[in-house]
């Protein structure tokens, strides 16, 4: 089978021995496609992942062989995420599931950018769902990234009708703005790039050039989806006293980012949100299924063979979000 691995600062395609289910509990799935996540880019660029790593986790896949107590069967097309919380540790008990040791240890084997993947019984029981019939494979691949956003929205725990500002209108920003609207908040988005501002407007959400935000505008909640250091200044300027800043991206420098006195004197709440729980994921699928979050036009599709190009285009902001068609045959867009 074909896999894509990190090798000498490139993404290289390799042929390796086929995966086997053997007598394990779980499923062998054929990956139809896999979204390229911002976290994959970070792991690649900052060399967090070693050579030989198979990145990718936003998969839509078809079950080929299965040995499971769940109702899934061979032929089912499913969405799944990669990590599963234990539900019992100190982190899980406090709702910080993405800090759970078991959560960090569980994964897709070998990774989403692979023709075949092994899913454990735990994946099938906790985070796998049938692909909704009304979603294309590409649309369904937003299941996991939108799950992360659902988690961020819930963690902010704002009041109904509160005003929110989304800083950064890449794919995550556009999804965040729609999710905030779906949860009943007022939303304004901002970015530096004109086409991104226009894209959000096309979804009937107010959007501004960050340099032209109304001077007196203040938000109850700020959602930071931009990784620029400057985004922190924007957040501090536009959050109202007593408001919340939800951090949902990494920044190049970590040192100047902690504004102690602003947090203290202005009674700000700064919250991080990382990876979703099984409930957040189920809620995400519902938002996609009922069309309250629209993903059409967000991703650009690439053939598996062009995965290096997909990484490059994402890094240079040429595309909002890349989606890798790992399986390339005609029956790609399976409807069942
Ligand atoms: Zn992701
Ligand atoms: Zn745990």
Asked if residue 280 belongs to a domain, the reply is: no
Q: Which ligand is nearest to the CA of 98?
A: 2
Residues 13-43: tens digit of each pLDDT = 999 999 999 999 999 999 999 999 999 999 9
Nearest-Å Rg of the Cα atoms of the chain is 20
Report the predicted TM-score, pTM, of the whole model to 2 decimal places. Answer: 0.94
Residues 105, 196: one domain?
no
Alpha helices in the chain (DSSP H): 38-45, 90-93, 101-105, 121-126, 137-140, 143-156, 171-182, 194-201, 230-238, 260-265, 278-289, 307-315
User: How many angstroms separate the alpha carbon of residue 185 from the centre of ligand 1?
Assistant: 24
As a whole number, mean pLDDT of residues 99-104 equals 97
User: How many angstroms separate the alpha carbon of residue 96 from the centre of ligand 2?
Assistant: 8
What was the pLDDT predicted at 336?
A: 44
> Is the confidence at residue 335, as pLDDT, over 80?
no
Name the token pair of 64: 């080929």
Name the token pair of 80: 């799944």
> Bridge-partner residues for 264, per DSSP?
none
Cβ atoms of residues 336 and 133 within 8 Å: yes
Residues 115, 212: one domain?
no
Residues 65, 130: one domain?
yes
Asked if residue 185 belongs to a domain, the reply is: yes
What's 23's domain CATH number? 3.90.180.10
Q: Nearest 5°: CA angle at 118, between 116 and 119? A: 130
What's 204's domain CATH number? 3.40.50.720
Asked if residue 289 belongs to a domain, the reply is: no
Q: Which ligand is nearest to the CA of 143?
A: 1
Asked if residue 106 belongs to a domain, the reply is: yes
Q: Which ligand is nearest to the CA of 39?
A: 1
What was the pLDDT predicted at 249?
A: 86
* Alpha-carbon gap, residue 326 to 304, rounded angstroms: 5
Residues 194, 120: one domain?
no
Most confident of 194-203, 259-268, 322-331: 194-203
What was the pLDDT predicted at 260?
A: 87
As a whole number, mean pLDDT of residues 313-323 equals 94
Lowest mean pLDDT among 52-66, 123-137, 158-172, 250-264: 250-264
Asked if residue 277 belongs to a domain, the reply is: no
Please, which residues have CB within 8 angstroms of residue 221's CB and are 6 or more apart in sequence? 156, 158, 162, 163, 164, 165, 185, 239, 243, 244, 245, 246
Please, which residues have CB within 8 angstroms of residue 116's CB and are 6 or more apart in sequence? 1, 18, 19, 28, 29, 30, 31, 64
User: How many angstroms separate the alpha carbon of residue 91 from the centre of ligand 1?
Assistant: 21
Asked if residue 285 belongs to a domain, the reply is: no
Name the token pair of 40: 């994959």
Residues 128, 7: one domain?
yes
Q: Which ligand is nearest to the CA of 86?
A: 2
Residues 246, 301: one domain?
no
Please, which pLDDT band fits residue 273 given cuts at 50, 70 and 90? very high
Residues 145-176: tens digit of each pLDDT = 999 999 999 999 999 999 999 999 999 999 99
What was the pLDDT predicted at 328?
A: 80
Residues 310, 246: one domain?
no
Positive or negative torsion for Cα 201, 210, 142, 305: positive
Residues 191, 123: one domain?
no
> Is the confidence at residue 78, as pLDDT, over 60?
yes
Residues 154, 214: one domain?
yes
Residues 7, 116: one domain?
yes
Residues 208-260: tens digit of each pLDDT = 999 999 999 999 999 999 878 889 999 999 999 999 999 998 877 665 557 88
Which range marks the domain in which residue 68 is found? 2-142+295-332
Asked if residue 242 belongs to a domain, the reply is: yes
What does the mean pLDDT of the chain come to?
A: 94
Asked if residue 288 belongs to a domain, the reply is: no
User: How many angstroms separate the alpha carbon of residue 276 from the centre of ligand 2?
Assistant: 13
User: How many angstroms separate the alpha carbon of residue 83 from the centre of ligand 1?
Assistant: 11
Residues 8, 137: one domain?
yes
User: Which of 257, 272, 287 is the last residue in one of the domains?
Assistant: 272
> Is the confidence at residue 310, as pLDDT, over 90?
yes
What was the pLDDT predicted at 251?
A: 76
Residues 136, 161: one domain?
no
Domain count along the chain: 2
């Amino acid at each position: 089978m074909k896999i894509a691995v990190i090798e000498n600062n490139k993404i290289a395609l390799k042929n390796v021995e086929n995966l086997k289910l053997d007598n394990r509990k779980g499923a062998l799935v054929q990956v139809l496609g896999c979204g390229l996540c911002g976290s994959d880019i970070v792991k690649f660029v900052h060399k967090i992942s070693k050579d030989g790593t198979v990145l990718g986790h936003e998969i839509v896949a078809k079950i080929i062989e299965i040995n499971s107590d769940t109702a899934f069967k061979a032929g089912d097309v499913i969405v799944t995420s990669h990590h599963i919380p234990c539900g019992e540790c100190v982190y899980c008990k406090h709702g910080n599931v993405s800090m759970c040791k078991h959560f960090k240890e569980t994964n897709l084997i070998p990774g989403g950018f692979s023709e075949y993947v092994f899913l454990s019984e735990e994946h099938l029981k906790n985070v796998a769902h049938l692909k909704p019939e009304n979603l294309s494979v590409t649309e369904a691949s937003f299941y996991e990234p939108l799950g992360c956003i659902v988690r961020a929205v819930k963690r902010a725990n704002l009041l109904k009708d509160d005003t929110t500002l989304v800083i950064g209108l890449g794919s995550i920003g556009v999804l965040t703005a729609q999710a905030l609207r779906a949860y009943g908040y007022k939303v304004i988005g901002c970015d530096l790039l004109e086409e991104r501002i226009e894209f959000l407007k096309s979804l009937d959400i107010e959007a501004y050039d960050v340099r032209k935000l109304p001077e007196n505008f203040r938000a109850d909640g700020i959602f930071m989806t931009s990784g620029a250091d400057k985004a922190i200044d924007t957040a501090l300027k536009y959050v109202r006293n007593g408001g919340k800043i939800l951090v949902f991206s990494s920044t190049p420098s970590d040192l100047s980012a902690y504004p102690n006195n602003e947090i203290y004197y202005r009674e700000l709440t700064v919250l991080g949100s990382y990876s979703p729980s099984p409930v957040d994921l189920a809620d995400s699928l519902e938002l996609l299924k009922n069309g309250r979050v629209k993903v059409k036009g967000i991703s650009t599709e690439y053939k598996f063979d062009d995965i290096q190009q997909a990484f490059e285009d994402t890094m240079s902001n040429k595309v909002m979000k890349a989606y890798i068609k790992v399986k390339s045959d005609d029956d790609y867009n399976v409807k069942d």
